[in-house]
Amino acid sequence: MDRLNGKLYLICAFSLAGTSVISARFVTGKLGTFTITAVSLFFALVFLVPLCGKQLVQYIRLMSFRNFLFLSLQALCGIFLFRMFLLSGLYYTSAGEAGILTGATPAITALLAMIVLREPVSGRKLAGILCTVGGILIIQGVLTPGNGLSLEHIGGNMLVLCAAACESAFNTLSRISAVKAAADLKGLSNPIAQTAIVSAIALILCLIPAPFEHPLKELSGIGLTEWTALLWYGVFVTALAFICWYSGIKRCGAFTAAAFSGMMPFTSMLLSTVVLGESADYQQWLGGFLVIVGMILIGTEVLMPRLRYLRIQKTKERNR
């Protein structure tokens, strides 16, 4: 039951995270990258701090330097670098295409687990990685002679892929941190406090380059739609999504989280069509299909051991 709850939390987390591409589209080009991130993080903290209260103080007191280091790395990869690459990439590519490209996260996470954690790779997992890579190449137009994609468009897609890589690094770091924190924090686990700390660290990082974007002048020129997008980015994409994420990752492994991270491209593709009215050509749909197939292959690889375990248990019960 606890694992099922963890999976539900992960579905909610990545579904909310998938709306980041859409909400960012409303402010990209009107505000600087770090201004967008800083303002959204401010809204997130305004929402989070009253919810934490004394629990946040207690969590900070029990937190070791190692816990703080892991949370700082998560803030760097999962918020600062992820949004820097994603928002920069949206200058040159469509929201729908960016959403599809975030589907590379499961494959990149699998590669990190294989290279960094030295986990074994099965044929199904390898096929999933290859499908994802092939899908990305098709979306990029590399396999189509005479394609009309400009270098700027390809560069934008590469920036989105860098964002996906940062998300994968964040996934891996969060799982390692969840295991370490169980011992260091004497069993205390508070997803809201974790989210508040990570958001505060990321906000501090953003405040360093943000002044160079003339934020006060730019913020004074935006309207209600842009402010609503920033509020959504802060409360839903950051606060609620990260609360669900930390609630889920302590119950599930990194590969399970990687499988459910495919909810990001699903949500982005759907909303880019419905909300932004964007359309994709056959090449993008084919590439997106391969990315989704890769996600499914990696995801089913995660579920296979559990299915085998259930079959063994049923067989034992019948033999009794």
The token pair at 182 is 């169980």
The backbone region for 214, taken as left when phi is positive above 0, alpha when psi lies in -120 to 50, beta otherwise, is left
Nearest to 261 by CA among 109, 149, 122: 109
How does pLDDT run across 263-299, given as a tens digit for each residue? Answer: 777 677 677 777 777 666 677 677 777 777 776 776 6
**Which amino acid is it at 88?**
S
Q: What string of DSSP letters covers 140-173? A: HTTTSTT----HHHHHHHHHHHHHHHHHHHHHHH
Instruction: Return the pLDDT at 268.
Output: 76
Would you write out the chain's pLDDT as a tens digit for each of its 320 residues?
Answer: 566 677 788 888 988 988 887 888 889 889 998 999 999 999 999 999 998 877 888 888 888 888 889 899 999 998 999 888 988 888 787 776 776 677 677 777 777 767 776 666 677 767 777 777 777 667 655 555 555 555 677 788 888 888 888 888 887 888 777 766 655 555 566 888 889 999 999 999 999 999 999 999 999 999 999 999 999 999 999 999 999 988 888 777 666 676 677 677 767 767 777 777 766 667 767 777 777 777 677 666 555 555 555 566 566 566 66
Instruction: Return the pLDDT at 226.
Output: 93
> Domains of the chain: which residue ranges?
2-315
Residue 270, classified by CB atoms within 10 Å of its CB into exposed (0-12), middle (13-18) or buried (19+), is middle
Nearest to 89 by CA among 81, 235, 14: 81
The token pair at 100 is 């599809």
Instruction: Return the pLDDT at 218.
Output: 92
Q: How many CB atoms lie within 10 A of CB 254?
A: 23
